[in-house]
Amino acid sequence: MALTKQKKKFNRRLPVIIEKGKDGFYIVECPLFEGCYTQGKTIDEAIKNIREVIDMILEEKEAQKIIKNYNPQEISLHTITV
């Protein structure tokens, strides 16, 4: 009988930024983790893909520490014109 490694499940709300690219794809990133981004043809697909990327990142102990200590009181996104 093979043993399977259980993934540690985190129940945290994480910030993600979604922006529509010039090619029509939605680019999504999680600013908590360096290099954590992906894309999708739709917003739903982009969100599904970023969940998969975050799951892979959370296999690393350092990422688990980041998410364990992450507890923002308020998140705000603004755009500015320069």
Q: Where are the domains of the chain?
A: 17-68
Cα-to-chain-centroid distance, residue 15? 7
Residue 12 pLDDT: 82
Cα-to-chain-centroid distance, residue 28? 8
Q: Is residue 7 pLDDT above 60, yes or no? A: no
pLDDT digits (tens, 9 = 90+) for 23-68: 999 999 999 999 999 999 999 999 999 999 999 999 999 999 999 9
In the CATH scheme, what is the code of domain 17-68? Answer: 3.30.160
Residue 5 pLDDT: 52
28 phi-psi bin (left φ>0, alpha ψ -120 to 50, beta other): beta
pLDDT grade, residue 10 (50/70/90)? Answer: low
The CB-based long-range contact list for 47-56 (8 Å cut-off, 24+ gap) reads 47/16, 47/18, 50/16, 54/14, 54/30, 55/7
